[in-house]
């Protein structure tokens, strides 16, 4: 074929491919009415479950103020995508709230056609419109607070909460396994949570008291707010142009916080009794920490992990080099309502989780012993869903020793 015709054919094919890709997308226009009292210079942001919606960044996608006073944004998303989203003023501390200051569940929609979604925000969490309703503290059990733990590695400070198991103060000679949890604001206390708590303290208290799991210490490490995405991601996602500070966060956890906890409390500091656990990006960084510090961490809970980050790099890395999983007990799960595209093979979040589970199986790990993969029917990407299965996570990672 003459070169000029070959080039023309290539151009035609590229045009057809581009047109096909566009036909698989729909445009969603968000039109948001904000509450009275919202500052005139406020910037409203969309945050949601897709890259096109901001990938759950608090300051995800900025909306523009229209002549009618509403804030609008047009986004092109894959056709038939399931959308979950919220609106903020740029931080989770200023997320939308109900008129009485209550939490607003993730808004949802199915992108089955071009459409406009009109939303009315009742109030903001920072009180820009109506004062938020004060939440009650829901701490259960023996919990110690470290209000301002400093990290020299990350050059910041954050709260840390430490749950001690029943009988800790009376059993002076006993040592305990430790579970390190990310997004610590959401673990124990509704008053500090973003959209509800995991009830990790209530669940641990009940299971330990019933003799179903080993008594454990739980260390809930607060995220760093606007730095959460950077700290919980091991590498930069080039599509977002963000992330990549996960190695420093891992070093903070393992070389600054863990030594302090081991020195301050009666822990079992060895790898077989040290776990990390988190959800979403917290699940992603948990896997990274377990892989990076196999001599310190032997238990990992990856709850609804954001394995899509950076084109599934964590999945691909484990497929090619699964050696770190040989001595690590891994919990992995995903809700069936977390897929990026419902009812197709392109449910990206679920597919990534299944691929990771397959990598563990291909590496010779034993299902239900070395690892557990659970798909939860109808479960979404939120704290109530994770709270519902936290008991199963503890039962898998810290089963009661029959010899005790």
Reported as a single tens digit per residue, the pLDDT across 283-337 is 999 999 999 999 999 999 999 999 989 999 999 999 999 999 999 999 999 998 8
First to last CA, the chain: 78
Does residue 193 or residue 96 have the better pLDDT? 96
Q: Are residues 238 and 283 in the same domain?
A: yes
Establish if 325 belongs to a structural domain. yes
Query: How many independent structural domains does the chain possess?
Result: 2
Q: Which domain holds residue 331?
A: 142-397
Q: Is residue 74 part of a domain?
A: yes
Residue 3 lies in a domain: no
Asked whether residue 158 falls in the same domain as residue 115, the answer is: no
Mean pLDDT, the chain, rounded, equals 89
pLDDT at residue 364, as a whole number: 96
- pLDDT range class, residue 128, cuts 50, 70, 90: low
Q: Which of 82, 88, 98, 198 is nearest to 138 (CA)?
A: 198
Last residue of a domain, one of 66, 91, 124: 124
Q: Are 170 and 54 in the same domain?
A: no
Average pLDDT over every residue of 253-275: 98
Q: Is 244 left (phi over 0), alpha (psi -120 to 50) or beta?
A: left
Average pLDDT over residues 70-90: 92
Residue 168, pLDDT > 70, answer yes
Assess if residue 12 is contained within a domain: no
pLDDT at 129: 56
* Residues 190 and 260 occupy one common structural domain: yes
Q: The tokens of 351 are what?
A: 């597919």
Asked if 110 and 21 count as a contact pair (C-beta separation under 8 A), the reply is: no
Examine the domain organization and report whether 241 and 331 are in the same domain: yes
User: Same structural domain for residues 45 and 151?
Assistant: no
- Residue among 394, 401, 364, 399 nearest 204 (CA): 394
Burial class (CB in 10 A: 0-12, 13-18, 19+), 155: exposed
Tell me the percentage of the chain whose pLDDT exceeds 70: 89
Does 336 lie in the same domain as 260? Answer: yes
Has residue 14 been placed in a domain?
no
Q: Measuring CA to CA, which residue among 386, 271, 283, 274 is closest to residue 332?
A: 283
Q: What is the CATH number of the domain that holds 45?
A: 2.60.40.10
What is the mean pLDDT of the segment spanning 20-31?
77
| Greatest mean pLDDT range, 3-17, 24-38, 51-65, 254-268 | 254-268
Same domain, 60 and 155: no
Q: Is residue 126 within 8 Å of 38, Cβ to Cβ?
A: no
pLDDT given at position 402: 65
Q: Give the pLDDT band of residue 195 (cuts 50, 70, 90).
A: confident
Q: What's the token pair of residue 119?
A: 């939303």
Q: Is 60 exposed, middle or buried (0-12, 13-18, 19+ CB in 10 A)?
A: buried
Whole-number pLDDT of residue 290: 98
Distance separating alpha carbons of residues 87 and 9, to the nearest angstrom: 45
Confidence class for position 404, pLDDT limits 50, 70, 90:
low
With residue 150 as reference, give the H or E element that holds it.
strand 142-151
| Structure-model confidence comparison of residues 199 and 381, the more confident one | 199
Answer for the pair 346, 383: CB distance below 8 angstroms, yes or no.
no
- Is 111 strand, coil or helix? strand
Own/partner contacts of 23-27, CB < 8 Å, gap of 24 or more, are 24/78, 24/79, 25/76, 25/77, 25/78, 25/79, 26/76, 26/77, 26/79, 26/111, 26/112, 26/113, 26/114, 26/115, 27/74, 27/75, 27/76, 27/114
State which of 68, 90, 124 marks the end of a domain.
124
Report the chain's C-alpha Rg in angstroms: 23
Q: Tell me if 18 is assigned to some domain.
A: no
391 and 289 co-located in one domain? yes
| Domain annotation covers residue 13 | no
Judgement on whether residues 97 and 159 belong to the same structural domain of the protein = no
Higher per-residue confidence, 303 vs 37: 303
> What mean pLDDT is predicted for residues 29-58?
89
What pLDDT score does 261 carry? 98
Residues 6+ apart with CB under 8 A from 15: none
Residue-level pLDDT at 12: 43
Domain boundary among 124, 158, 182: 124
Token pair 């409203």 in the structure block, residue: 44
Phi then psi dihedrals of residue 353, to 5 deg: -65, -40
pLDDT at 330: 98
So what's the pLDDT on residue 36? 85
Range from 82-91, 209-218, 234-243, 337-346 carrying the lowest mean pLDDT: 337-346
pTM, two decimals, is 0.77
Mean pLDDT, rounded, for 10-15: 44
Residue 172 and residue 268 in one domain: yes
pLDDT at 56: 87
Q: Confirm whether 36 is domain-assigned.
A: yes
Query: Which has the higher per-residue pLDDT, 390 or 15?
Result: 390
pLDDT bin (cut points 50, 70, 90) of residue 8 is very low
- Answer for the pair 88, 226: CB distance below 8 angstroms, yes or no: no
The answer to whether 114 and 26 are in contact (CB under 8 A) is yes
pLDDT of residue 133: 58
Question: Is it the case that residue 102 has pLDDT exceeding 80?
Answer: yes
Q: Does residue 19 register a pLDDT over 50?
A: no
Residues 284 and 305: beta-carbon distance below 8 Å:
yes
Closest CA to 207 of 198, 197, 216, 195: 216
Three-state DSSP state, 170: coil
Confidence of residue 343 (pLDDT cuts 50, 70, 90): very low
Distance CA 221, CA 224 (A): 9
CB 15 within 8 A of CB 28: no
217, 362: one domain: yes
Backbone angles phi, psi at 393, to 5 degrees: -65, -45
pLDDT tens sequence across 231-263: 999 999 887 788 999 999 999 999 999 999 999
CATH of the domain at 371: 3.40.50.1820
User: Per-residue pLDDT for 10 more than 50?
Assistant: no
Percent of the residues in the chain that have a pLDDT greater than 90, as a whole number: 69
Top pLDDT among 303 and 42 is at 303
Q: Let me know: does 325 contact 367? Beta carbons within 8 Å.
A: no
The predicted pLDDT at position 20 comes to 45
| pLDDT for 158 | 97
């Amino acid at each position: 074929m003459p070169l000029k015709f070959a080039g023309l054919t290539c151009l035609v094919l590229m045009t057809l491919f581009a047109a096909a890709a566009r036909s698989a997308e729909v445009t969603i226009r968000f039109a948001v009415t904000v509450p009275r009292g919202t500052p005139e210079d406020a910037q409203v942001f969309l945050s949601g479950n897709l890259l096109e919606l901001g990938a759950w960044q608090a300051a995800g996608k900025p909306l523009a103020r229209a002549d009618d006073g509403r804030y609008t944004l047009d986004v092109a998303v894959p056709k038939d995508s399931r959308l979950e989203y919220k609106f903020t003023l740029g931080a989770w501390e200023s997320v939308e709230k109900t008129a009485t200051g209550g939490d607003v569940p993730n808004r949802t929609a199915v992108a089955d056609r071009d459409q406009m979604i009109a939303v009315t925000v009742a109030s903001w969490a920072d009180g820009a419109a109506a004062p938020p309703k004060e939440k009650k503290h829901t701490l259960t059990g023996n919990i110690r607070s470290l209000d301002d733990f400093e990290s020299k590695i990350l050059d910041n400070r954050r709260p840390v909460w430490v749950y001690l198991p029943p009988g800790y103060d009376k059993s002076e000679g006993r040592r305990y396994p430790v579970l390190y949890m990310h997004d610590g604001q959401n673990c124990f206390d509704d008053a500090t949570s973003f959209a509800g708590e995991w009830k990790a303290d209530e669940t641990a208290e009940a299971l330990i008291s019933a003799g179903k799991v080993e008594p454990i210490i739980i260390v809930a490490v607060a995220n760093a707010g606007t730095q959460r995405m950077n700290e919980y991601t091991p590498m930069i996602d080039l599509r977002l142009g963000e992330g990549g500070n996960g190695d420093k966060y891992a070093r903070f956890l393992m070389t600054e916080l863990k030594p302090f906890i081991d020195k301050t409390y009666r822990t079992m500091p060895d790898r077989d009794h040290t776990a990390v656990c988190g959800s979403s990006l917290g699940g992603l960084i948990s896997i990274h920490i377990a892989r990076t510090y196999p001599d310190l961490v032997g238990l990992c809970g990856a709850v609804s992990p954001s394995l899509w980050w950076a084109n599934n790099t964590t999945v691909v890395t484990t497929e090619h080099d699964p050696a770190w999983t040989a001595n690590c007990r891994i919990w992995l799960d995903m809700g069936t309502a977390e897929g990026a595209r419902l009812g197709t093979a392109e449910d990206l979040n679920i597919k990534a989780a299944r691929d990771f589970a397959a990598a563990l199986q291909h590496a010779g790990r034993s299902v239900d012993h070395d690892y557990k993969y659970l798909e939860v029917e109808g479960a979404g990407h939120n704290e109530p869903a994770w709270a519902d299965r936290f008991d199963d996570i503890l039962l898998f990672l810290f089963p009661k020793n029959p010899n005790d």
